[in-house]
Structure 1
Amino acid sequence: MTSKQPIPSVWTRQNREREQPALSRGQIVAEAVRLLDAEGVEALSMRRLGARLNAGATSLYRHVANRDELIELVVDEVYGEIEVPEAAGGEGWREAVATCAHSVRAMILRHPWTASVLGQVGLSYLGPHVMRLNDRMLALFEAAGFPLAEADQALSSVFAYVIGMGISEAAWLAMVARSGQDEQEWQENLRPTAERAAQPYERLHEQFVSQQAQHPRQARDEKFHYGLERLLDGLSARLARVESAGG
């Protein structure tokens, strides 16, 4: 009979410190976020982070076993930036959920490196900031009138949309940043090529021409807002059926 292997995650491992370390986990995570924001996920290594903290990599290993655990910690850290309003019944739930959704998107765009790690971050849902966020979001849906099990499904649907859109935007903005241009310059330089590519396709070409004068940031904002509102429309309709069945 083989022994069960522990699940590799910072959240499943007991922190066994024998003495007061020179560095705290909070210091390590905060510096890792600064490194990621400045240079991207490819630059993150235990050696590089130790150098920025004027400490050897050994000091970091008191808190994290490897780079994967460090990424779990930094993801949980930035999730702590997300705003979640207090639960409100009636129509207030919709505005509260929208506020949280926009805050998640803003977090991803502040930390575009999340685009490359959110899908491979291990047991991220066990992090304290993620758990707090999920619990408070469930409270929003439950206060609106969704049963808890369906509140969980609604939460998953909203986050799937927001994270999917946010990751796409972050990847786009990272590509623009690598060009050394701002978003408007990039779009103007790309316009002749894009227009030629769209020329054989009537609807795509018409849409392309009609959006030429629009700033790309405005276009991204409008697209995100439209999709979120239609998702909330669907949840509102579903809530009305739940309430009708309950009555």
Structure 2
Amino acid sequence: MPRTTLTSAQIVDAAVGLLDAEGLEGLNMRALGKQLGSAATAVYWHVGSKENLIALAADQVWHEIPLPDLAVVDWRTAATRLATDLHTMLTRHPWLVQAFGSLPLFGPGKARHDDHSLAIHEAAGFTGGQADQAAATVFTFVLGNALGPAAADSLARRLGRAGDDAAEAMRDSTAKAHEIAARFPRLRARLETAAAGHGAAPDNSFQFGLQTVLDGLEARLAAARP
């Protein structure tokens, strides 16, 4: 791609693809410029810095989340859809979960999501600070559930880069973890299940937990009514 045709939108699109494939640690401006057929300096000219590029990429993926129409569905259906689509987005782009801990990321995309989440919880009946607390409770639950897949994704990439020695070290570490877990009866009974994997959880754990959180919010609203 000639330098003269390079645009910020093209750079951000390419950065999202590279982040999805290589994670935060794999985002390299020189490699990105080569992928775009341009020099790294041209990439910097458009986006300013690597940190700013990550912020732009984050803002773009936040816009992938559809906002449920409160004129069409009730608040609980809307909350379930928004949380589920947020979880889907975070597991599709695990680097964003990594970025939360290292960069201040807040742009129009996240603001759009957060504002609609508040609207959903206000429609439920929460007011003032309680609407913020309800929205934050759901958000932190979703983010927590995305941490496991993000950690597993990061570990897999790191092992892939490090080669056979790292893979062997991981196998040894896993064997040691299983040996420790085998000393405890409930953990021992789960060693051969899918939930025993690194960063894994039982099937439908996210759906179970989300509905439990929403049950609690709904019960709180009911208890507050005269």
Distance 2:215 2:92 in 1: 28
Distance 1:58 1:173, change over 3 A: closer
1:85 aligned onto 2:55 = no
Distance 2:186 2:58 in 1: 40
Residue 112 of structure 2 corresponds to which residue in structure 1?
A: 132
Residue 4 of structure 1 corresponds to which residue in structure 2?
A: none
Distance 1:149 1:85, change over 3 A: same
Return the offset for 1:66. 0.9
The within-5 A match list for 1:178-217 is: 195-206=178-189, 208=190, 212=193
Return the offset for 1:79. 1.1
Return the offset for 1:241. 3.3
Between Structure 1 and Structure 2, the one with more helix by share is 2
Residue 210 of structure 2 corresponds to which residue in structure 1?
A: 228
Residue 165 of structure 2 corresponds to which residue in structure 1?
A: none
Residue 68 of structure 1 corresponds to which residue in structure 2?
A: 51
Identity within the alignment, %? 40
Distance 1:62 1:200 in 2: 57
Q: Secondary structure at the match of 1:103?
A: helix
The within-5 A match list for 1:81-120 is: 81-87=64-70, 92-120=74-102
Residue 29 of structure 2 corresponds to which residue in structure 1?
A: 46
Say if 1:114 and 1:167, in contact at 8 Å, map to a contact too.
no
Aligned counterpart in structure 2 of residue 162 of structure 1, from 142, 146, 149: 142
Deviation track 1:48-84 (CA, whole Å, cap 9, x = no partner) reads: 2111111222322333221111111111111111132
Distance 1:199 1:230 in 2: 30
TM-score by length of 2: 0.79
The within-5 A match list for 1:22-33 is: 22-33=5-16
- Structure 2 stretches lacking a partner, 5+ long: 161-171
TM-score by length of 1: 0.73
Return the offset for 1:195. 4.8
Q: Secondary structure at the match of 2:37?
A: coil
- Structure 1 stretches lacking a partner, 5+ long: 1-20, 181-188
**Amino acid paired to 2:193:** Q
Aligned counterpart in structure 1 of residue 125 of structure 2, from 140, 145, 154: 145
**Amino acid paired to 2:180:** A
Deviation track 1:145-187 (CA, whole Å, cap 9, x = no partner) reads: 111432222111111111121022221244356667xxxxxxx
Distance 1:195 1:55, change over 3 A: closer
Distance 1:89 1:147 in 2: 21
Say if 2:65 and 2:85, in contact at 8 Å, map to a contact too.
yes
Deviation track 1:87-129 (CA, whole Å, cap 9, x = no partner) reads: 2599x2112111111111111211122232122221x22x111
